[in-house]
């Protein structure tokens, strides 16, 4: 039952999907700036370019489960990598709005399919005492991919056709992953599902570096014998507690989105500027600073989850998120934040300073920040009364110049604010990012890969993934309106309440799965 070199290598190659996903999620902000200028895209067209990835992701989440369960987890990863290469190749030679949409849809299908298949594949090849580490490796790769995208955005910001270089970097890596996955073994549990027991035994012996894997194979066969008979509708029936398991999975991804991580992060640089940070400093912090914090925070969660347990990390993450959100809300009650129509009123250079690096995928993969970077942020203002001793700062007033294509210039009033308030805002934001990165970010997808039976795991993961993308879209379309109505501080307080509710949900309903095999978990939950 050991975790040999071959098991780790197989997991690492599969987790390259996470790196590619994170890179694509973080890339669009910088790339869109150049593409919108070259292709003369309107605000609505920019929205469609970004949302086309979401359309592809939703399609894959609804149909990918059948592909994963019918043809295998490994094949699904190969197809996803190939689609990513194809989508990127479509984007490069053509400077066409239509081809841009087609390429983005293909990339959306790819990252959604790979996010489901990778978690399932790694969970099924990993030994029980190392499953948390290996599955969480995918989340670590996602945040590293986001950080690399931030760096790429800055590097090619002023390079002619730099967006083509940005998109081209994933092509060789995606192709190499597809080739490497071809030579790696299928999931032994999938082989048993297809009645290929001898091949499954050989794969287990190779993965565990043992000459006899009969015992583990027997446990898998015994578990899958009943599970293989599941239909999709059984996910909503009381049979083996499947309906309760599905409700737990759907509720968990609901909290991933509604605790506010993607929304808050989009406005990181603007909020920091409003409390006294210079624009360049704030933009740099929002990209590399937040990216580094996400990577550093994900590392301990990845390496200690098998000792500490996913439930404990979820509780810690939700608790710390609630504390930091309360702090952010109180700070914002004393600050007047005024947003303007970014996609119309700013030059690409100015827009780049504000938006680069504000895209952070989450685990498990969120598109709010992708969507929000092209949705027109009209005027968001906190409704809180400010104390007399706190001076309003950072208010951005845009005035349009006469003429058809004239660019609007920004005038910015900046006055002193209390130093404590300034640094408290920064600290609370980074703590919030760190808390999500050790809790709901990586642990939600680990739990989802464990609580469903093997015979229907792919379809169950696909359904929860479609819930994730769907809620993401809903929040993306309503966040600006809600914030305008009630103010940013009250949005933070609402996210605080959601974090506390998620904490209660985790304590009551999420099982502790550390040290248990997938078969043990399934049998226990069936009761």
pLDDT at position 262 over 50: yes
pLDDT of residue 269: 54
pLDDT at position 296 over 70: yes
Highest mean pLDDT among 14-28, 33-47, 428-442, 496-510: 496-510
Q: What integer is the mean pLDDT of 260-275?
A: 60
- Give the chain's length: 527
CATH number for the domain including 242?
1.20.1250.20
pLDDT of residue 383: 39
Distances, alpha carbon 395 to alpha carbons 337, 349, 389, in Å: 6, 20, 17
Instruction: Please indicate, yes or no, whether residues 118 and 238 belong to a single structural domain of this protein.
Output: no
Q: What integer is the mean pLDDT of 16-24?
A: 92
Residue 23 burial class via C-beta count within 10 angstroms: exposed 0-12, middle 13-18, buried 19 and up? buried
Rounded distance, CA 290 to CA 357, Å?
8
Pick from 99-113, 237-251, 397-411: least confident: 397-411
Q: What is the pLDDT of residues 116-141, one digit of tens each?
A: 899 889 988 888 788 888 888 888 89
Instruction: Please indicate, yes or no, whether residues 519 and 428 belong to a single structural domain of this protein.
Output: yes
Instruction: Please indicate, yes or no, whether residues 63 and 170 belong to a single structural domain of this protein.
Output: yes
Distances, alpha carbon 481 to alpha carbons 47, 144, 372, 407, in Å: 16, 32, 12, 26
Highest mean pLDDT among 62-66, 152-156, 437-441, 448-452: 437-441
Q: Which residues have C-beta within 8 Å of that of residue 124, sequence separation ≥ 6?
A: 73, 187, 188, 189, 190, 454, 457, 518
For the chain, the average pLDDT equals 76
Residue 202 lies in a domain: no
Neighbours of 197 (CB within 10 A): 15
pLDDT of residue 283: 52
Give SS3 for 309: coil
Q: Does residue 380 contact residue 338 with C-beta atoms inside 8 Å?
A: yes
Overall domain count for the chain = 2
Which domain, by its residues, includes 39?
1-184
Instruction: Please indicate, yes or no, whether residues 251 and 151 belong to a single structural domain of this protein.
Output: no
Instruction: Please indicate, yes or no, whether residues 115 and 33 belong to a single structural domain of this protein.
Output: yes
Instruction: Please indicate, yes or no, whether residues 180 and 237 belong to a single structural domain of this protein.
Output: no
Residue 445 lies in a domain: yes
The dihedral through the CA atoms of 396, 399, 401, 404 has a sign that is positive
| Of the residues 184, 215, 245, the one at which a domain ends | 184
Residue 83 lies in a domain: yes
Highest mean pLDDT among 19-23, 51-55, 408-412: 19-23
Instruction: Please indicate, yes or no, whether residues 163 and 282 belong to a single structural domain of this protein.
Output: no
Quick one: tokens of 445? 């997808």
pLDDT at position 473 over 60: yes
Q: Is the pTM of this model over 0.85?
A: no
Instruction: Please indicate, yes or no, whether residues 433 and 312 belong to a single structural domain of this protein.
Output: yes
Give SS3 for 404: coil
| Of the residues 146, 168, 184, the one at which a domain ends | 184
Rounded distance, CA 483 to CA 492, Å?
10
Local confidence band at 265 (pLDDT 50, 70, 90 cut-offs) = low
| Of the residues 184, 211, 243, the one at which a domain ends | 184
Residue 464 lies in a domain: yes
């Amino acid at each position: 039952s050991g975790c040999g070199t071959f098991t780790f290598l197989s997991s690492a190659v599969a987790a390259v999907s996470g790196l590619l996903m994170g890179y694509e999620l973080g890339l669009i902000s910088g790339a869109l700036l150049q593409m919108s200028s070259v292709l003369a895209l309107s605000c609505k067209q920019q929205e469609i370019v970004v949302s086309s990835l979401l359309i592809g992701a939703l399609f894959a989440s609804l149909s990918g489960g059948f592909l994963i369960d019918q043809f295998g987890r490994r094949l699904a990863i190969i197809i996803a990598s190939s689609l990513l290469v194809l989508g990127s190749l479509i984007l490069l030679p053509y400077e066409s709005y239509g081809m841009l949409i087609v390429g983005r849809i293909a990339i959306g299908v790819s990252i959604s399919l790979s996010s489901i298949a990778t978690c399932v594949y790694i969970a099924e090849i990993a030994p029980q005492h190392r499953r948390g580490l290996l599955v969480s490796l995918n989340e670590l790769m996602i945040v590293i991919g986001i950080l690399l995208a931030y760096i790429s955005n800055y590097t090619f910001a002023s390079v002619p056709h730099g967006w083509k270089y940005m998109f081209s970097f994933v092509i060789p890596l995606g192709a190499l992953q597809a080739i490497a996955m071809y030579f790696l073994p299928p999931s032994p549990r999938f082989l048993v599902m297809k009645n290929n027991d001898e091949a499954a035994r050989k794969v287990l012996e190779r993965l565990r570096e043992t000459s006899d894997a009969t015992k583990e194979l027997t446990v898998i066969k015994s578990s899958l014998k009943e599970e293989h008979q599941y239909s999709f509708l059984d996910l909503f029936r009381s049979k083996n507690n499947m309906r309760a398991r599905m409700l737990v999975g759907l509720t968990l991804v609901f909290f991933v989105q509604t605790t506010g991580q993607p929304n808050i992060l989009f406005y990181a640089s603007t909020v920091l500027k409003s409390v006294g940070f210079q624009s360049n400093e704030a933009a740099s912090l929002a990209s590399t600073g937040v990216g580094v914090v996400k990577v550093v925070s994900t590392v301990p969660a990845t390496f200690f989850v098998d000792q500490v347990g996913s439930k404990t990390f979820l509780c810690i993450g939700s608790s710390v998120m609630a504390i930091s959100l309360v702090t952010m809300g109180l700070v914002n009650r004393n600050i007047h934040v005024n947003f303007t129509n970014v996609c119309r009123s700013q030059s690409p250079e100015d827009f780049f300073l504000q938006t680069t690096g504000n895209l952070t995928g989450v685990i498990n993969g969120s598109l709010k920040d992708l969507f929000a970077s092209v949705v027109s942020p009209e005027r968001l203002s906190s409704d809180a009364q400010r104390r007399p001793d706190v001076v309003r700062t950072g208010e951005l007033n845009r005035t349009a110049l006469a003429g058809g294509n004239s660019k609007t210039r920004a005038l910015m009033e900046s006055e002193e604010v209390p130093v404590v308030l300034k640094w408290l805002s920064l600290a609370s934001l980074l703590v919030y990012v760190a808390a999500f990165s050790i809790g709901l970010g990586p642990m939600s997808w680990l739990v989802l890969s464990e609580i469903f039976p093997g015979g229907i795991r792919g379809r169950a993961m696909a359904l929860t993934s479609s819930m994730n993308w769907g809620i993401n879209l809903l929040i993306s379309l309503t966040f600006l309106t809600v914030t305008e109505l009630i103010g940013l501080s009250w949005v933070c307080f609402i996210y605080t309440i959601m974090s506390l509710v998620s904490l209660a949900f985790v304590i009551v309903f999420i099982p502790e799965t550390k040290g248990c095999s997938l078969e043990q978990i399934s049998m226990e939950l069936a009761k």
